Amino acid sequence: MDNSQAQDAFAALAQPTRLKAFRKLLAVHPDGMPAGEIATTCEVPHNTMSTHLAVLLNAGLIKVERDGRVMNYRADIRGFRGLIRFMASDCCHGRPELCGDLARLVPEEVEDMTQQALSPAFNVLFLCTQNSARSIIAEALLQKIGKGHFNAYSAGSQPAAQPMPEVIERLKSLGHDVSKLRSKSWDEFAGPSAPRMDFVIALCDTLDGQVCPDFGDKALTSAWPLPDPAKFTGSPTERTTLLNELYAMIRRRMESFTSLPFSTLDKLALKARLDEIGDTARV
């Protein structure tokens, strides 16, 4: 931990509610607590507590793990001990072992057993009619940008036999793994054995007037209308330029999506942010 990180940690703990919340999370460690329970313990509104938790999270003092619809928070023991180590590093002329029991709090390597319990990734399904271009690009981009935090899927209401060759070639040239990309029906994601979706995002204006299947009651939906590459006209060079522009548009949306503060937004606020990303005036 450096000076800047230590300053952030101390600033986070200097506020009474955040200090109380952090001490409570330390007390129940290695277990965690949902934001609502922490808010009740600290006697503050849920929205206020979410803001305080975001500060502690950014300071590296707590972690957040998603369990279905609930965001569970736990103390980040490695970050906490790093702060103690920072303060003790200069003790007794740089020999904290001379401070008796303090030395036990600042080992060179601290094993946090919870770090092996990775937070579940969000499942995101991108839809367009043929699942041959826009949704394929979105799947490839999110799988690369959000690796480890998001699982990307794509499907269509009337899937093509295969993705557009020029889309696949462009993705390959940009360093994407295209080996698993294929056009498929959205029915694959509607059965009981299908992965449960957290987000379902349509990338066309309408899906030919069809009603989407039931992707589960926890899935947040949004529409991010984008131009259809199948309708691009002009010379090969002009079509490639349009395809590059489409790729850039989708990439910007993926970057905005993956940077959302998921742990601090309730469902309504998150839905609003998703719709903002899909607003073509903002692209």
Q: What is the pLDDT of residue 96?
A: 52
d(CA 41, CA 107): 32
Q: What is the pLDDT of residue 1?
A: 64
- Sorted by where each starts, the structural domains of the chain and their CATH numbers stand as 3-115 (1.10.10.10), 122-282 (3.40.50.2300)
Question: How many helices and strands, by DSSP H and E, does the chain display?
Answer: 10, 7
Enter the DSSP assignment of 154: E
d(CA 68, CA 72): 10
Given a cut of 50, the residues of the chain with pLDDT beneath it are 103, 105-119, 281-283
Number of Cα atoms under 13 Å in the Cβ half of residue 282: 13
Helix axes 77-88, 3-13, angle to 10 degrees: 110
Q: What is the pLDDT of residue 6?
A: 84
Strand segments, DSSP code E, in the chain are: 33-34, 62-67, 70-75, 122-127, 150-155, 199-202, 220-223
Residue 185, classed as helix, strand or coil, is strand
Q: What is the pLDDT of residue 113?
A: 36
